[in-house]
Amino acid sequence: MADKKNASESEHARRVREMFAGIASRYDLLNHLLSGNTDKRWRRLVARKLQDALSVKGARALDVACGTGDLSLALAKATGAQVVGTDFCRPMLEIAARKAKTNVSSEIPFVEGDALKLPFVGESFDAVTIAFGLRNLSSVETGLEELFRVLKPGGRAAILEFSRPVVPGFRALFQFYFARVLPKIGGVISGSRGAYEYLPDSVSRFPDQKRLAALMEDLGFAEVEYKNLTGGIAALHLGMRPLS
Ligand SMILES: C[S@@+](CC[C@H](N)C(=O)[O-])C[C@H]1O[C@@H](n2cnc3c(N)ncnc32)[C@H](O)[C@@H]1O
């Protein structure tokens, strides 16, 4: 039974890793194009929300499932903290490393690693982030447990992810764009229609705003709150690892 579960998790990880490797070179272009650059604003907000947690001298932040590193770079620029990015897809990390070289003054190590088994000791970061990564994991719970584990007591987690638009008419309109229009444009530009069909599929399986907040609380996060972004197309969830 455990073997079967492990095999299906490995298969899931392999498919997700290959999919991102296949679209890595077009990933940034498509992100900015398909969101009308709104994604940049969302990531800057994450960095602003973590400014206090990262204001202490020598503060460290971990950006999990960092992909091509846009959030890692935004964090480094906005806070001056020591940022580490981690992802299990090497082609995405290679792009992140190239961008960091020319865009930020501090060095950002990009480390290959699985979000379900982070290659870092516990209680070692003042803040952890994951942007558009959590819904890709075979277990959202294990992903959250790992974020919690590597946070120092008192440290802050920020989870940016697609969510459920809150206004019904807008939700229907957005669902049409997301499920029908976006896979076509994404497919043509990236050469992988499958990856952009997977996107709305994975979002539909992901917990909505309230369920994700409840899950974070169940797993021990304190001061859990969320903010809907652009009518709930995305949501930013924040939580703290309690001091004791
Ligand atoms: C949609 S991209 C998001 C990248 C980046 N955080 C951003 O905001 O653009 C999802 C990323 O999650 C990574 N990922 C998915 N599952 C992972 C896992 N189990 N461990 C590490 N990275 C994972 C993928 O390789 C991909 O780079």
Cα(118)–Cα(150) distance, rounded to whole angstroms?
A: 8
pLDDT at res. 84: 98
pLDDT at res. 58: 94
132 CA to centre of ligand 1 in angstroms: 7
State whether the beta carbon of 166 lies less than 6 angstroms from ligand 1: no
Q: What is the full per-residue pLDDT of the chain (244 aa) written as tens digits?
A: 667 778 888 899 999 999 999 999 999 998 888 888 999 999 999 999 999 999 999 999 999 999 999 999 999 999 989 999 999 999 999 999 999 998 877 899 999 999 999 999 999 999 999 999 999 999 999 999 999 999 999 999 999 999 999 999 999 999 999 899 989 998 998 888 888 888 899 999 999 999 999 999 999 999 999 999 999 999 999 999 999 7
CB contact at 8 A, 150 and 124: yes
Q: What angle do CA 107, 111, 116 make, to 5 degrees?
A: 140
Query: Mutate which of 9, 10, 20, 129 to test ligand 1's pocket (most atoms within 8 Å of Cβ)?
Result: 20
What single letter denotes the amino acid at residue 176? Answer: F
Q: What pLDDT, in 10s, does the model give residues 181-230? A: 989 998 998 888 888 888 899 999 999 999 999 999 999 999 999 999 99
The count of other CB atoms within 10 Å of the CB of residue 16 is 20
